[in-house]
Chain A
Amino acid sequence: MLRKKECVAMLLAGGQGSRLYALTNSIAKPAVAFGAKYRIIDFALSNCINSGIDTVGVLTQYQPLELNEYIGNGQPWDLDRAFGGVHILSPYQGKKRSSWFEGTANAIYQNLGFMKRYDPDYILILSGDHIYKMDYAKMLRAHKETGADCTIAAIEVPVKEASRFGILNTNPDGSIYEFEEKPKTPKSNLASMGVYIFTAEKLFKYLEADDEDPASSKDFGKDVLPAMLAAGEKMFSYRFEGYWKDVGTISSLWESNMDLLGKEPAFDVSDPEWKIHSRNPLAPPEYIGKGAVLDNAMVALGCEIEGTVKNSLLAAGVTVEEGAVVEDSVVMAGTVIKKGAQVRYAILDEDVVVGEGATVGEAAEKVSIAVLGRGVKIADDAFVAGGKILDKDFSGE
């Protein structure tokens, strides 16, 4: 019987990402642009296809239009398949009831029908808001070897940050004896990456039980995983070593972008053995003008650069006019920085216009990142202070 998939991935992409403020006004967090060319979801999708997982359900809810359009038929990730491939799963009207996805577990529960079509042995749960390269096939192998019912990918985080994460307390063999969601005084620094592999029948059983439990908040971390642990199911951690970043805040998004720069970048997106697939801009090569200065920059196709770009990333079709300076910033597609304008420590969303002589952001240490939302126009000579977040045009008044 060939009509079967060993492992089906379910990618949670419905989150609003409210801590990204203006950047997620009209799009879901996984659709936010990253690294001069990519969108956050490219990393999870690329990991799937590079790990040999060709069946992916993407659960969308918040502002799904652009995300749906971006994923399309999945062809850029080689996920346009006759059997399998990528599928957008939105909340739907059912015969008995209709509802929005109420939590991560409920979102998966509502799509049991999708998963069961593929008669899978394993279900991989992913979230669409992390930047990392991970071979899920290795993790699946570990899951089979330990005979676990659930395997949770985990990474060591700095002790002082551990209370922001779901923390796994494990025995020496890697089995989990305790799971603490954002503990005030963490017992370990092993954080859950939000990447789970479940043996399919166990997952289905616990999701059904969770759905019937009126006290449950329908969340994996808070409800399903503790319930499994309490019932004595075999749960193992899977240690991941490498770059992994949650880009849920303005500062982490900025930092993670910066990690792509340099000769030996902290995070390398150009590894031919682990390509990051994405939709590609339809644009000619970038033009670097006579007076341009490029110093430690990542620049995408279609840019026209006459000014100075330092420690920054520019996505497709960005214009930096003569005398303009862009430093320590992330500039998304189609944005124009006019003559003599200065942009420092800022994230500029798509199609922003920074007027002539305007200043956005400040270079001082410890000032937070300024953010200009999509399409925002900054008037000539206006001043946007460091850390300011704008989603409307700004004249400086």
Chain B
Amino acid sequence: MAFSTVGVIISHINDDNLPEISRHRTMASVPFGGRYRLIDFVLSNMVNSGVTTVGIVVKNNYQSLIDHLGSGKEWDLARKDGGIILLPPYSDETEAPYTTRLEALMGITGFLTHRTEEYVVISDCDGIAHMDIADVVRYHEEKQADITMVYHEESHASSSYYMTLAPDEEGRVREIEINPRLRGKMNLYINVMVMSREFLINTIHDAVTRGYSSFGRDILTKNVDTLRIFGYPHKGYFAAVDTLKDYYARNMELLDKTVRDELFGARDIYTKVRDSAPTRYLAGATVSNSLISDGCVIEGRVENSILFRGVKVGKGSLVKDSIIMQDTVIGGSVSLECVITDKNAVIRDGRKLAGCEEQPYFVPKGRML
């Protein structure tokens, strides 16, 4: 049987976690890893697993996401049937736009009803993982589950990853805890789940009738005994990006070859291209332990840093332990240490900026210092 799964990506649900970076953009289009946006990872997982239709639920500030996705061709999702379908919120006098995940799903029942795929995989996009979604669906079928929730062994929860699962030997989830007390390794639900499309539509209709608002509280935890909820253990790389500190740490992790190999080695991560020239390292440049994207021109010193596309580093400047986003221009004799610059920032000659790992110094989009 052909792989028959439609993807749903919730692009915004945790926007508040990175207020600095997501001020002008939705979580899905937060830049990551030198040339990507967060949504690229989950989209690539889906495409690499054979998903050809992905509905993307958007709410606010999604202009940058539309710009990033274009027609979807970079992900091979410019399709005659399906491909990328943006699902903006619906509201009228009687209905305010949704706030919760369940309400977001209620808003896309039309989309779900019109699809023909057997299964639905629903995912957020602030978790970065290398995941074979086809395998999750296979597991779901095998277990004859109603809902399959993907979990990862973690030792800390957060505001966006706050459910832990207690699966039995067979994998069936017997208990779901919300906002658990920290106690070493936990099976943290990473906000990826699989259901049959029919089951999801029925569940949503039922939730509307009963006036439910929370998928976690009203559907999962309440029905853990009656529904066949299974936990799928995700073994590979997983990184939650849910605070600025995490954002910084997760980017820096990419300087580690094992992390890079795990994330990029086995499959392709698709992203928007913009025909930048390859990066030029001029005479006098010194670069060490850094990840550098295309279109950069480097004349200064770059250490333990991540440079996005089109960054310029002037003569005599030092960029250390920093994340420099697209088209940032760093003048001459500048010193940056533990700094995150958003897109199009300009750092003038001679400026010295420093933060620390716990609190990187953040330069907003387009800011000139």
Q: Give residues in A with beta carbon < 8 Å to B.
A: 35-37, 75-76, 261-263, 265, 269-270, 275-278, 280, 282-301, 309, 313, 315
Task: Report chain B residues within 8 Å CB of A297.
Answer: 280-281
Cβ-defined contact, B277 with A294, below 8 A: no
Cβ-defined contact, B282 with A262, below 8 A: yes
Tell me whether B17 is interfacial, beta carbon within 8 Å. Answer: no
Closest to A302 in B: B264
Q: Give the complex CA separation of A286 and B309 in angstroms.
A: 11
Tell me whether B269 is interfacial, beta carbon within 8 Å. Answer: yes
Task: Report chain A residues within 8 Å CB of B288.
Answer: 288-292
Q: Give the complex CA separation of A279 and B268 in angstroms.
A: 15
Task: Report chain A residues within 8 Å CB of B35.
Answer: 284-285, 301
Task: Report chain A residues within 8 Å CB of B283.
Answer: 262-263, 295-296
Residue total for B at the interface (Cβ-Cβ under 8 A): 39
Tell me whether B292 is interfacial, beta carbon within 8 Å. Answer: yes
Q: Which of B7-15, B156-164, B293-301 contacts the other chain?
A: B293-301
Task: Report chain A residues within 8 Å CB of B286.
Answer: 293-294
Q: Give the complex CA separation of A35 and B287 in angstroms.
A: 21
Task: Report chain B residues within 8 Å CB of A315.
Answer: 278
Cβ-defined contact, B275 with A295, below 8 A: no
Q: Give the complex CA separation of A295 and B283 in angstroms.
A: 5
Task: Report chain A residues within 8 Å CB of B285.
Answer: 294-295
Cβ-defined contact, A300 with B278, below 8 A: yes
Cβ-defined contact, B287 with A37, below 8 A: no
Q: Give the complex CA separation of A276 and B295 in angstroms.
A: 12
Closest to B267 in A: A282
Tell me whether B73 is interfacial, beta carbon within 8 Å. Answer: yes
Q: Give the complex CA separation of A275 and B297 in angstroms.
A: 16
Tell me whether B266 is interfacial, beta carbon within 8 Å. Answer: no
Q: Which of A265, A285, A292, A301 contacts B307 (CB 8 A)?
A: A285
Q: Give the complex CA separation of A285 and B260 in angstroms.
A: 10
Most chain B CB within 10 A, of A276, A280, A300, A313, is at A280
Cβ-defined contact, A299 with B275, below 8 A: no
Interchain nearest-CB distance for A353 vs B (Å)? 19
With A284-B34, A295-B281, A295-B285 in contact, do A300 and B292 touch (Cβ < 8 Å)? no
Task: Report chain B residues within 8 Å CB of A295.
Answer: 281, 283-285
Cβ-defined contact, A298 with B280, below 8 A: yes
Q: Give the complex CA separation of A18 and B138 in angstroms.
A: 53
Chain B contacts with A in 74-130, Cβ cutoff 8 A: none
- Interface CB pairs A-B, < 8 A, 11: A262-B280, A276-B275, A285-B35, A285-B293, A286-B291, A295-B283, A296-B283, A298-B277, A298-B280, A299-B281, A299-B292
Cβ-defined contact, A288 with B292, below 8 A: yes
Closest to B310 in A: A270
Q: Which of A282, A286, A290 contacts B292 (CB 8 A)?
A: A286
